[in-house]
Amino acid sequence: MIYHQLALNVPLYSLLTYAHPTALPAGTRVAVRFRKRLVAAIVWESNVQPKIDINKILPIETILSEDWQLPADWRALLSFTARYYHYPLGQAVMAALPKGLRQPEAVPLPHQELMYTLSTSGRLQPPPPARFHKQHALWQCLQSAPVTLQQLKAKHTQATNYLNQWQQQGWVQAKPVPVCGSIPASPYQLNQQQQHASTLIQAKFGQFAPFLLYGITGSGKTEVYFDIMAKVLQQGRQVLFLLPEINLTPQLMQRVRQRFPSTVTVILHSQTAAGQRTSNYLQAALGQAALVIGTRLAVFTPMHNLGLIVVDEEHDYSFKQESELRYQARDLAVWRAQQINCPIVLGSATPSLESWYKAQQGAYQLLQLSERAHASAQLPQIHLLDIRRLPLDNGLSDVIKQKLQANFANGGLSMIYLNRRGFAPALFCTACGHIFGCPNCSAKMVLHQHAGQLRCHHCDFHQRIPHCCPECGNQDLTAVGQGTQRIEEYLQHLLPDARILRVDRDNTAHRHDWAAIYSKIMQRQIDILVGTQMLAKGHDFPHLNLVVVLNADNSLYSADFRAPERLFAELMQVSGRAGRANYKGEVWVQTRQPEHKVYQALSTQNYVTFATAELAERQELCMPPFSHMAAIRADAKTMREAQELLRQALQGIEQQQSLPTSVSTFGPVPMLMARLAGYERAQIFLESKNRRDLHHSITIWHSWLQHLEKIYPHTRWLIDVDPLEM
């Protein structure tokens, strides 16, 4: 018997040993019994010396992938991920696989699409007589160039039959579709800065080289990505393109299709149907697809011949997964590029301070695009409107109302951007001040007027809008704060003839919703857009010329040290939507703190000023990126229980072990959002300038938590490395 170490979907930090008569190559998918159930597993190592009684070792039941293994670099990536995020390897491995490959069943490998053409002997044959015109047309198709079955079927429904016959005669031959295909030239000539960036990246093909492409909004970053992607693809290598969200960026997908029409491309995101996801994943792994586009989970796509990684909008928080395996896809992408020796380009108009700092340190090469690419596009003018002494009507000042009215009269497109963070319409009793909160979370319930409900946006609790206050019985309940719905209603009243469209999670929940909205906007069927964060993403509406920002101040009161960075990025993004083509753009921000550094930097649209000041502050406080952090969290029915586990672990560690001196500990403290879905949440932060010391301490913490979980069975814990949530 040969013993194998397998990765299984179980919460264990070590691998499990199973036996098989022959040695199976690492990366093979197999089915084994675990607690009597048949489950899928991946061979991590074979020919190992068993550490347990060999009589207890179970056999591998079936081999699920005889002819294909998960490649070594993929396994290395997963081993690193599990180690770095202190997560069970087997569970990390399963999280990185699509559902189809997590089941204990064999999966047929996808066939590479074929192209057909006449063979040499076929070319010597007379074509079918012209009176059989469909057959004749098929033959002519095959004669002129290689075509796919689908193209042939479009000519003749019986194409498969004829093709079979002709293949048997040896008149037709088939070849796999080339994965790269021909790439048409870009409609644009790159400008000097774009060309410079592209040239520098190309010089590093075939080696690890991280670039930070810092380009203002509309500066043509995408064209730079496309230019280098085309070059890599033409060398026969694969490209991995990561972006924050796919459904909300149909425009980008459309541009990809236009630019790479015959390149075999697969898309991987959480809404890709399970079967499709498995087949896309395998196509990428087998090298049948040249271009892989996806959201954070796509960073785990095994690729046969990867030559370039691009991470667009690298500052976006959605690259961080905030449940279970809490990984940061951008960071893993950099690790992956280093491991396989290829360049990686992180692009943003407002880079994360982590990446900016690395570029300042020289660890990343900084590339800049400082002007808008479109010939007549200009950066919008940004106005801060101090509303401290202005009367507001439904949240809008007179200036803003007039701006909106004038823009509507002139046929322009306006956008009202509401900063939703920490803010949503709540219900409030005018007599006693009672605010309706969620019974399960430390959050206010959000008023959904149309649905007649109060809803919690953190758990799924909802209730009908109450008629009176539960505390004092008063029936006069008022909505406080603005939601998109209230603004929409008010604007409709202000501008009865305007076509107003609200864009929020409710009406973009489905895959095609945004595409429909987008085409409406492009066909100029909309005059005013009202929405939240979703509207800030990289959309390109050429005729958008007025952006109004409401309630942005809410973010300034957050206790999260990253709140200013996040707000600045968001406002720069949203401002960047205006004036992208021939229309001059204007941005108006209503604020009570116009002197705040975020707004000051915004008004001059100067990321560098902001980043420099913010980094100086972080350095003084020794915050990331000047230190590294991890959060150890616990949740339980009560805050006392949650904190107890952390306190016990802390005490144990302090009494029995010495943590590296560079590591400091804060807490336990409640999380900013202390109560979630009925659980109270506490955390301890570990912080150190030295990454190795930090990881060493996490390991110590980890073993204590595992030890204590038996004593506190009702408290759950987790480790969040490089946390973004506070």
Ligand X SMILES: Nc1ncnc2c1ncn2[C@@H]1O[C@H](COP(=O)(O)OP(=O)(O)OP(=O)(O)O)[C@@H](O)[C@H]1O
- Binding residues for Zn(2+), by number, are 429, 432, 438, 441, 456, 459, 469, 472
Rounded least distance, CB 437 to Zn ion, Å: 9
Q: What pairs with residue 10 in β-bridges?
A: none
Among the listed ranges 164-172, 213-221, 430-438, 714-722, the one in contact with ligand X (CB under 6 A) is: 213-221
- 671 contact, one of ligand X, Zn ion, none, CB 5-8 Å limit per kind: none
- 438 contact, one of ligand X, Zn ion, none, CB 5-8 Å limit per kind: Zn ion
User: Are the CB atoms for 618 and 625 separated by under 8 Å?
Assistant: yes
Segments in 469-561 forming alpha helices (H): 484-494, 513-522
Question: Quick check: helix, strand or coil at residue 650?
Answer: helix
Select from 194, 283, 414, 551 the one that contacts ligand X (CB under 6 A).
194
Q: Name the residue nearer to Zn ion (CB basis): 426 or 441.
A: 441
- 459 contact, one of Zn ion, ligand X, none, CB 5-8 Å limit per kind: Zn ion
Select from 98, 104, 210, 218 the one that contacts ligand X (CB under 6 A).
218
Which of positions 184-243 make contact with Zn ion (CB under 5 A)? none
Quickly count: other Cβ atoms within 10 Å of residue 133's Cβ.
11
* Alpha carbon distance 521, 527 (integer Å): 8
* Alpha carbon distance 599, 602 (integer Å): 5
* Alpha carbon distance 353, 616 (integer Å): 11
- 458 contact, one of ligand X, Zn ion, none, CB 5-8 Å limit per kind: Zn ion
- 441 contact, one of Zn ion, ligand X, none, CB 5-8 Å limit per kind: Zn ion
Residues that bind ligand X (rule: CB under 6 A) add up to a total of 19
Select from 488, 540, 565, 635 the one that contacts ligand X (CB under 6 A).
540
- 222 contact, one of Zn ion, ligand X, none, CB 5-8 Å limit per kind: ligand X
Among the listed ranges 98-106, 221-229, 291-299, 703-711, the one in contact with ligand X (CB under 6 A) is: 221-229
Region label for 152, one of left (φ > 0), alpha (ψ between -120 and 50) or beta (otherwise) = alpha
- Strands (E) in 133-208, as ranges, are 147-148, 172-176
257 binds ligand X per the rule CB under 6 A: no
* Alpha carbon distance 508, 535 (integer Å): 11
Select from 4, 75, 221, 330 the one that contacts ligand X (CB under 6 A).
221
* Alpha carbon distance 213, 602 (integer Å): 20
317 binds Zn ion per the rule CB under 5 A: no
Give the pair of three-digit tokens for residue 557: 């009161």
Rounded least distance, CB 224 to ligand X, Å: 8
User: Are the CB atoms for 587 and 552 separated by under 8 Å?
Assistant: no
* Alpha carbon distance 267, 424 (integer Å): 34
Q: Name the residue nearer to Zn ion (CB basis): 378 or 440.
A: 440
Burial of 487 (0-12, 13-18, 19+ CB in 10 A): buried
458 binds Zn ion per the rule CB under 5 A: yes
- 107 contact, one of ligand X, Zn ion, none, CB 5-8 Å limit per kind: none
In 3D, which of 303, 316, 340 has the Cα closest to residue 243? 316
Q: Name the residue nearer to ligand X (CB basis): 220 or 625.
A: 220
Lookup result for tokens 């609790």 = 461
Quickly count: other Cβ atoms within 10 Å of residue 698's Cβ.
18
673 binds Zn ion per the rule CB under 5 A: no
| Contact string 497-536 vs ligand X (x = CB under 6 A) | ----------------------------------------
Which of positions 461-500 make contact with Zn ion (CB under 5 A)? 461
- Report the number of secondary-structure helices (H) and strands (E) in the chain: 21, 30
Q: Name the residue nearer to ligand X (CB basis): 539 or 562.
A: 539
576 binds ligand X per the rule CB under 6 A: yes
Rounded least distance, CB 198 to ligand X, Å: 11
140 binds Zn ion per the rule CB under 5 A: no
438 binds Zn ion per the rule CB under 5 A: yes
Q: Name the residue nearer to ligand X (CB basis): 191 or 234.
A: 191
458 binds ligand X per the rule CB under 6 A: no
Rounded least distance, CB 33 to Zn ion, Å: 40
Burial of 444 (0-12, 13-18, 19+ CB in 10 A): buried
459 binds Zn ion per the rule CB under 5 A: yes
Which of positions 519-558 make contact with Zn ion (CB under 5 A)? none
Rounded least distance, CB 359 to ligand X, Å: 17
Q: Name the residue nearer to ligand X (CB basis): 104 or 576.
A: 576
* Alpha carbon distance 217, 156 (integer Å): 48
* Alpha carbon distance 153, 134 (integer Å): 11
- Strands (E) in 75-168, as ranges, are 114-118, 147-148
Select from 190, 243, 400, 427 the one that contacts ligand X (CB under 6 A).
190
* Alpha carbon distance 41, 571 (integer Å): 46
Contacts of 549 (CB under 8 A, 6+ apart): 417, 419, 571, 574, 587, 588, 589, 590
Lookup result for tokens 């492409």 = 213
Q: What pairs with residue 393 in β-bridges?
A: 396
Segments in 242-386 forming alpha helices (H): 250-259, 274-285, 329-340, 353-361
Rounded least distance, CB 201 to ligand X, Å: 15
374 binds ligand X per the rule CB under 6 A: yes
Quickly count: other Cβ atoms within 10 Å of residue 122's Cβ.
19
Rounded least distance, CB 459 to Zn ion, Å: 3
Select from 12, 38, 170, 188 the one that contacts ligand X (CB under 6 A).
188
* Residues in touch with Zn ion (CB under 5 A): 438, 440-441, 456, 458-459, 461
* Residues in touch with ligand X (CB under 6 A): 188-191, 194, 215, 217-223, 349, 373-374, 538, 540, 576
